[in-house]
Amino acid sequence: MNKKTLHILIVLLLTLVAVSTRTYWRGSVLEWMAAGVFIVMAGIPHGSLDHKLAQHRNKNLKLLFYILGYVAAAVFFLVVWLWFPGWAFLLFLLLTAWHFGETDIASLGFHKTSPVLVFVYGTALTSWLLLQEPATLLYWTGIITHNSKVALTAVQWITGIPVLIWFGIVAVIVIFNPNVTLFTWPQRLLFLLFLYLVSKTSLLIGFILYFSGWHSISAMLHVHHAVFSRSGFKTMLKQALPYTAAAVLFLFAIAWLSDGTWLSNHALPALFVLLSILTLPHMTEMHKLYMHPNPEGKS
């Protein structure tokens, strides 16, 4: 059994457990605790090696200046959130769609990709993950964006599209992937089953299962191949640990310093915004990795 099949089976098993036990955790503190654990264990660590990608491309990189630039980009996006929450929310969704698309298209083994394919797949996938509970999404959009008209109007428009259409678009791209060597038929069917079952959990847990369980681990495997293929996975995790801790402390510091009522009154919006501010610099580094013709290193 190869690593990709094992990865799909693990996230599928976790999703089946979540679905079968949802009456016990849904809407309770357990849901929040599970989301937090998954984010700390995989979500944040998968972005903690961006400096290694940069150093791999540029051996003369000054780490201190890189970190300062990285933090500055995150702070800039936070300022955008504070001043223009509606537009920041929409920008974040577009960045998320592109980032998810790039990572999955690489994992699916496409030899030749186009920006259109990446964005269509990423948009359909992100819509599928977020539109399972339209009323809940609208509620949190209002809180996150301080009832921004532009954000609420956009979400209301997109919720009018039947959610299965988004899943259908994802399924068509997965099924008609011409590379049957890197992504076999059993893997495709199991992957689509996983994506379908996340919709039977909850908006929060479904998104976290994909984001932390599938996307983050896939991205780490890509980084491992690009930078740590000789030193091993354990070495990579050790390298990620201090920067993961620093990222967690940075998020706590921002949360403590931010006193906007829209940010501090609810845990989910705060978590959403604080994680999103790291998206811009992280997505930039991963995009540079995916510009390589084959991030997984296979032909």
Token pair 């998968």: residue = 46
Distances (CA, A) of 163 to 104, 130, 132, 133, 241: 20, 9, 7, 10, 38
Cα–Cα dist 145/164, whole Å: 27
Cα–Cα dist 192/239, whole Å: 33
The predicted pLDDT at position 221 comes to 92
What radius of gyration do the chain's Cα atoms show?
Answer: 19
Cα–Cα dist 21/147, whole Å: 33
pLDDT digits (tens, 9 = 90+) for 52-103: 999 988 888 998 999 899 889 988 998 999 899 999 999 999 999 999 999 9
The letter for the amino acid at 143 is I
The predicted pLDDT at position 297 comes to 47
Residues of the chain above pLDDT 90, percent: 57
Instruction: Read off the pTM.
Output: 0.89
* Strands (E) located in the chain: none
Residues 6+ apart with CB under 8 A from 122: 96, 97, 98, 99, 100, 101, 102, 104
Cα–Cα dist 99/93, whole Å: 10
**Angular region, 258: left φ>0, alpha ψ -120 to 50, beta rest:** beta
Among candidates 267, 286, 268, 289, which has minimal Cα distance to 278?
286
Mean pLDDT split into 10-residue runs, the chain, 299 residues: 92 98 92 88 88 89 91 90 93 95 92 88 97 91 92 94 96 92 93 97 95 95 89 85 83 61 54 78 91 55
The predicted pLDDT at position 257 comes to 62
Q: Where are the domains of the chain?
A: 3-8+33-40+62-290
CB 71 within 8 A of CB 261: no
Token pair 């609420």: residue = 152
Cα–Cα dist 188/240, whole Å: 30
The letter for the amino acid at 34 is A
